[in-house]
Amino acid sequence: MGMLRIISNRGDERRLWNEQDALAGDVEALAALREAERIFARERARGATAFRVEPGKPVERLEQFDAQVSQIVMVPRVVGG
C-alpha cells in the first residue's frame, strides 16, 4: 500500500493506492493510483515539494511520483518569513 499525504490548511489530505492490485488489473486500484498521480502532479504544479518518508530510511526529495514508495508527503510552497 502507498499513501500520499498533502499538507494543507485542512491538515493533511490522504490518498491511498495498492500498486500490486493495480498491476493485477483491479479497476478500482488502478483508478486510485491514477488519482494519486494526478494529485501529485497538480500539487507540484502549484509549487509543492514532495518527499519520500519511509520508516528507517532517510527522507528524500521526490521529483516524480513513485508508486512503490510507501509514503509520500507533499509540502506546500514556502517563503521566507
Partner 1 sequence: MNMATLVGVLIVVLLPLLPWVFISGSYHKRPGAKRRAGELLRAVLTAEQYVQLIRQGYIDIPSPSDPERVYRVPRSPGQVQVREKGQLTQWLCLQPFEWVPDADLVVIHKLMIEADEETYLQKANSITPIAVSLFNGPV
Count of other CB atoms within 10 angstroms of residue 73: 18
Q: Which is nearer to partner 1, 39 or 75 (CB)?
A: 75
* Contacts with partner 1, residue ranges (CB under 8 A): 5, 7-12, 47, 49, 51, 53, 58-61, 71, 73, 75-81
Taking the alpha carbons of 14, 15, 21, 27 in that order, is the dihedral positive or negative?
positive
Q: Which is nearer to partner 1, 18 or 49 (CB)?
A: 49
Q: Which is nearer to partner 1, 28 or 60 (CB)?
A: 60
Look at residues 56, 55, 41, 54 and name the one whose alpha carbon lies nearest to residue 6: 41
